[in-house]
Each structure stands twice: as structure tokens, then as C-alpha cells.
Amino acid sequence: MRTGVWAGFSLVAMTCVGCGADPESAPAAEVTVTATATATATVTVTATAAPEASATAPDVPGAGLEQVSLEVADDGCGVVRGETEPYDYDNLTWVVRDESGFEVLGRNALGETQYRYYQSGTYTVQLQAFAGDRYVAVSETVTISC
């Protein structure tokens, strides 16, 4: 009798002892072959404990960031932002959107306290900063007409 394992399968084969080479002269023999298949599955489950709820700030990225004042300039086309010191914003950005809501400009605002959009039309402007895994608003949204 021979036994072997191949790629997760067990195979047992029995050999007929005393059987002749000529099937006519061989006594009737019974051979049993057993095949056993074994399957293994690995499942990985990741669980994350929920943080404790805060009574003062919702669990929203940017909820703890100070808001920056944003005003429309006298000409109606420019915007002026308030000071950000001593707050440390990650990637403070001017975000300008057209009347359809498409973002037409995303520009670094860290070194600038005022900005004027170059193309005529009506736009909304907002300051955003990176918090957690995305950009969040850190100012109100104002409308300009250039």
C-alpha cells in the first residue's frame, strides 16, 4: 500500500499482490482508492475601539481648529483674511468656487492675508486647512464679484 500527500490532498492507493500481468489469468481483485481533501481558510478581522464621546467638540475633523475671519474687500472682488497667529494650520488654502460649485482655485494662503481672483464673474471664497485626513473649512464662505 502507498500513501502520499500532494497540495493538501491525501491519497491512499492499494496495490494488488499476486495479480498476474494477464487480466484473463488474474484472480478478481478489488482495489479501493480513498482521496481526502482538506480546505483551510484564514479570516482576518480588525476591530477598532471607538473613542470616548466628547461633550465639548463633535468627532469631526477640524472641529478643534480656530476659525479665521474672512471679509470681502471694498472693491467686491478681493478678500482679506484675519491673522492666524498663534494657531498652526496645516496647509492653509484659499478655495475659490464658481457659481456651479466647481473649485477653480486652491492656493496656499499661509503667506498671504489678501487675495483677488483674476477672472471676471461671481465666486465663493473660503479658507480651508488640512485636518486628519482631509481639508476642512476654517472660515466662513464669502461671495465676490469680479
Residue by residue, pLDDT tens for the chain (146 residues) are 555 544 554 444 444 455 555 555 555 555 555 555 555 556 555 555 555 544 343 444 455 678 888 999 999 999 999 887 756 777 889 999 999 999 999 999 988 899 999 999 999 999 999 888 888 898 999 999 99
Position 63 in a domain: no
Position 9 in a domain: yes
Number of compact structural domains in the chain: 2
Position 59 in a domain: no
* Phi-psi map region of 132: left, alpha, beta (phi>0 left; psi -120 to 50 alpha): left
Q: Are residues 80 and 123 in the same domain?
A: yes
Q: Are residues 78 and 138 in the same domain?
A: yes
Position 138 in a domain: yes
Q: Are residues 29 and 86 in the same domain?
A: no
What pLDDT, on the 0 to 100 scale, is given for residue 103? 95
Range of the domain at 110: 70-145
- Output the domain CATH number for residue 136: 2.60.40
- Residues counted in the chain: 146
Q: Are residues 83 and 135 in the same domain?
A: yes
Residue corresponding to grid cell 491512499: 12
